[in-house]
Amino acid sequence: LSAGPRLRAAGMGRNKASLRRRVLDARCPVTLHVYDVSNDGRVAKFNAVSRAGLLRGGGIFHAAVEVYGREYSFGGSRVNTTGIFACRPRKCPMHHYRESLFLGDCDLAPRDVDRILRKMKPEWMAPSYDLFRKNCCFFSKEFAIELGVGHIPEWVYSPADVGAAIDDYRIKREKAKRERERSAKIKREQERLAAIEAEEKEKRANAAANIHGR
C-alpha cells in the first residue's frame, strides 16, 4: 500500500507505518486498486517495466475505487444499463491485481456514498464506454473526486489521454481527407458540366453558322 497524490503532496507518503495508522484511523478509508489489464502475463511484464520508469507514457491499467469494503469500477457493454459494477476488493476476475494506493478518508456515511453512486450511474452507462475517453480509470478519477479525496495518480490514466489525442488526430486527418475528396469530386463535376455546356454551345454555334451559310 502506498499513498495517493493528495497525501504525497502533504508529505505523508514516506512512512509506511504512519500510512497504515492513517488507514486504520480513517472513518471511511478510500483506496485505489490498480490492475494490469486482462490476465495476460505479457501486460503485467510491460506494466512492470513502465512502473520502473524504463518506458515513457505509462502502462495499460484497470482501476477501481474501494470504499466501505466494496470495490467500484466501470465497464462497457451494448446493454442499456449502468456500467458501474462492484466486486470484492482486489478480486476483479477480469484483470490481474497490481497495487493499491490509499487516497484518504472521505468521512462520509454509507448512505452518502450510495447517494453519490446513484447520481453517477446515469452518467456512466455501459454503452457510453470509450477506451480512450471514458473508461474505468476516468470513472475512478471522478468517483474519487466526488468522495472528496482528490485525484488519482496521473500515470494510471495518462495512456488513455495519449490514446485519445492520437485518435483525435486520426479523426481530424480522416475528416480532412474526406473534405479534400469531396472538394475534388465537386470540382470534377463542375468541370464535366462546364465541358458539356461548352460542347453544347459549340454545337449551337455550328448549327447557326450552317443556317446562315445556306
Enter the C-alpha cell of residue 74: 466501470
Max alpha carbon distance in the chain (Å)?
114
8 Å CB contact between 141 and 89: no
Q: What is the pLDDT at residue 135?
A: 92
Q: Give pLDDT, residue 205.
A: 80
Contact in structure between 131 and 160 (CB atoms under 8 Å) = yes
The predicted pLDDT at position 163 comes to: 43
Per-residue pLDDT of the chain (214 residues; tens, 9 = 90+): 889 888 888 887 678 888 888 888 999 999 999 999 888 787 778 777 766 654 555 678 899 999 999 999 999 999 999 999 999 999 999 999 999 999 999 989 999 999 999 999 999 999 999 888 899 999 999 999 999 999 999 888 875 444 444 444 455 666 667 787 888 888 888 888 888 888 888 888 877 777 776 6
Q: For 29-49, b where at least 16 C-beta lie within 10 A, e where not — what string?
A: bbbbbbbbbeeeeebbebbee
pTM value > 0.85: no
pLDDT score of 166: 42
Domain spanning 2-156: CATH 3.90.1720.30: yes
Q: In Å, what is the CA distance from 150 to each residue of 24, 30, 97, 140, 210? A: 19, 10, 22, 11, 89
| pLDDT at position 91 | 96
